[in-house]
Amino acid sequence: MDVVGAPTWFRRHPGHPRVRLPRRRTRAPHEPEVGKQIDASHSIVTGKRMTATAEATSVPVRRITAVLAHPDDESRIMGGTLALAARRGWRVTLYCATAGEAGDPSMAAPAVAQLRERELGAACRALGIEQFRLGRLPDGGLADADVDAVVEDVVRHLRAVRPEVVVTFGPDGRSGHPDHIAIGRFTEIAFRVAGDPERHPEHHRLGLAPWQPKRLYHTAVARSVAETLGWPHPSLPDEDLVRVDVGETFDVKCRAVMEAHASQWRLSPWNVTAGWEPRAVEHFRLACFEPGQGRADDLL
C-alpha cells in the first residue's frame, strides 16, 4: 500500500497504520525559525559541530540513527543493536527528544536533566554512538508538543546525519508511554518528508540538503519474549519481526544500562528472574521501506 503524501517509491509494511502529514507551508523570511530553542548542531558526545554533508571518504559509510524519547531508551531498548552497528563500522547517531527531567521525582527537574545528560553521554561512548542531540522537549509532554516544530527538528537531524536506517517507536510506544508514541509519530512524518526539497527550504542556509533514508524500523517486543518475561504491554508475533541477536554486544549494553544510566537503573532495574537470555535479542518491525531495500532478514 502506498503511503499517502510520501514519495511514490515508499511502501508501508502491511498492517501498519497511516500517519497523516501536517499541511505543507513555507516559512516567511521574517518568521522565527521553528524550534530555535533547540541546539540543532552541537554534539554533546564529541563536542564537535555536526556537519551537514557526509565526510569525504573513498569507502561508503553506512549510517543508522535512533530517534527516541528519553535518555536510557537507546540503551535499554536497542543498546545491543546500536553497539553491534558501531562494531560493524556503521556511523551511529541519536536524537533524544527530552532530557528525562521527570525521571526522578525525589530531585529537582533541572538537576535530573543535568545528571541524565551526563549519563547519556557516557552511555553513547560505551555503545559507540558518535553523536547525539537533545531536543530538550518537555519530559512527559511530547504528546502536547508542536508537531511542526518537532518534525522540523527531526528532519534537520536526518538531513545532518544522513542515515540509511532510522529506528524509533511504533504506534504502541512499546510500553504505551505517551512520549514514546508521540516521538514515533513525529519521526515517521519526518522520515517521509526529509527528502522533499520543498519541505523546510530554510535548511539550505544551514548547509543541509534534502535526504531520504531508505528504511524505518519500529522497536518491538516479540510475543515469545513477552511471554517469557511476563511483559504486560503490547507484543507482536515473532514471524512479523526482524530479530537481532546482540549476544556479541550484550555486555556493552549491560554496562550502558547499569553503569552509564546508574540513576535509572537504581529506580527501575530489570527483572531477571527469567534469566538474561531474553534481553540478548532485540526485535524490530519494518514500517516503511524502499522496494528492493527494506525486506531484509537483518536490520544491519
pLDDT in tens, 188-201: 999 999 999 999 99
Least confident piece of the model among 22-36, 69-83, 202-216, 266-280: 22-36
pLDDT in tens, 74-119: 999 999 999 999 999 999 999 999 999 999 999 999 999 999 999 9
pLDDT in tens, 36-71: 223 444 333 333 334 444 444 456 889 999 999 999
Averaged pLDDT for residues 191-218: 97
Parallel, antiparallel, or unpaired for β 63-68 and 165-169? parallel
| Domain positions in the chain | 33-50+59-289
Please name the residue that has the C-alpha cell 550502558. 256
Query: In sequence order, what are the beta bridge partners of 137?
Result: 98
Give CA separation, 152 vs 168, 186, 215, 244, 264, in Å: 16, 9, 19, 31, 30
Query: In sequence order, what are the beta bridge partners of 236?
Result: 222
Question: pLDDT at position 297, please?
Answer: 61
Whole-angstrom distance, CA of residue 290 vs CA of residue 169: 19
Averaged pLDDT for residues 205-226: 96
Q: pLDDT at residue 139 above 50? A: yes
Q: What is the mean pLDDT of the chain?
A: 84
Whole-angstrom distance, CA of residue 190 vs CA of residue 187: 5
More confident residue, 300 or 30: 300
| DSSP code string of 118-149 | HHHHHHHHHHT--EEEEEEEPTT-GGGS-HHH
Name which of 282, 300, 239 is nearest 15 in CA terms: 239
Whole-angstrom distance, CA of residue 166 vs CA of residue 182: 16
Name which of 213, 210, 171 is nearest 191 in CA terms: 213
Q: Which residues make Cβ contacts (< 8 Å) with residue 137, sequence separation at least 6?
A: 38, 97, 98, 145, 150
Whole-angstrom distance, CA of residue 17 vs CA of residue 21: 13
Averaged pLDDT for residues 250-254: 96
For the domain bounded by 33-50+59-289, which CATH number is listed?
3.40.50.10320
* Range among 33-47, 130-144, 258-272 rated most confident: 130-144
